[in-house]
Amino acid sequence: MPRTPRHLPQGYSFHITFRCNSREFLIAKGLRRDVLLSVLAKAQIKVPHKLYGVCLMANHLHLLIKPDDATQLPRLMHWISWYSAMALNRLSGRCGHFWETRYYATAIAPKDHRRVLNTLRYIHANPMAAGIRKGFYDPYSNYGHYSRLECDGISEWHPSFLQMAPTLKGCSKRYQNFCTKYRHHAKGAPKCHWGSRMLKRLVETSRSNRSKSKRISPGQQQLPFAFDCRLNQIPDDWQRIAVRFRKANGIRDGDKEGCIW
């Protein structure tokens, strides 16, 4: 059965949701999220676009993107998913699918400022809604880019944000106040039937029986970077991109929001 064609109107922004395969927590480690930040930076050269919202969670990520040409969105997301999967598999010493088969993309009209701001707030509220943070600041979310008005090297301010007040400081204050009004609505518990429980046990058993020597595919395609997964390191230029982003958006001593852990 063919896939439903995506609605890709020109000039629209797109709320993108990417999930790890089987919703596993494959990007829980900070180093793996650093790789993702570097991939997002490189993607801006590969396919021209503007990145307005970013939030990297332990098993999924949220992006607010506006491609210069909306028809190039599938090409952009294909490159991000392929490049990041190859890099993260190499770093973690695994093989196979890293992301779910298809990403979610919701088009948002450029004049629908309220929906843009609601989407941005939803993206930035993810760490707090998951119980990881007490507030909105997180080193892998670009909320600090909007509240501190600092450049993180990857993201830009959305035009809807710039229309909130006559000055940048005013926009920042209004957006912070707007975010404080956010209320998280918990999702209902998923229904688990006997077949799902049995399948889950079978999958866990098969994973535990796999040999560790077979985790790295001998025919894996070569990439234009090389690092030893045993050293748990990434290239220096990738590290610089991640450090700049985390410094601009991470929690600081003067922030009221802290980490629960």
- Assigned domain for 222 exists: no
- Assigned domain for 237 exists: yes
- For residue 213 the two structure tokens come to 């020597």
- Assigned domain for 238 exists: yes
Q: Which one is predicted more confidently, 73 or 224?
A: 73
Does the pLDDT of residue 234 top 60, yes or no? Answer: yes
Taking only the tens place, the pLDDT of each residue in 42-62 is 999 999 999 999 999 999 999
- Assigned domain for 200 exists: no
Number of domains within the chain: 1
CATH code at position 150:
3.30.70.1290
- For residue 141 the two structure tokens come to 């979310």
- Assigned domain for 107 exists: yes
**Residue of 104, 129, 100 lying closest to 23 (CA atoms):** 100
Does the pLDDT of residue 80 top 70, yes or no? Answer: yes
Distance CA 186, CA 73 (A): 30
Distances in whole angstroms, Cα of residue 253 to Cα of each of 30, 72, 81, 256? 20, 41, 35, 8
Structure pTM? Answer: 0.83
- How many C-beta neighbours within 10 Å does residue 37 have? 24
What is the arithmetic mean of pLDDT over 13-29? 95
Taking only the tens place, the pLDDT of each residue in 90-139 is 888 888 899 987 899 999 999 999 999 999 999 999 999 999 999 999 99
Q: Report the SS3 class of residue 49.
A: strand
- Assigned domain for 243 exists: yes
**Residue of 74, 92, 75 lying closest to 36 (CA atoms):** 92
- Assigned domain for 88 exists: yes
At residue 103, the pLDDT reads 92
Q: Which domain holds residue 34?
A: 13-184+228-248
- For residue 13 the two structure tokens come to 């922004």
- Assigned domain for 103 exists: yes
What does residue 127 show for φ and ψ, rounded to 5 degrees? -60, -35
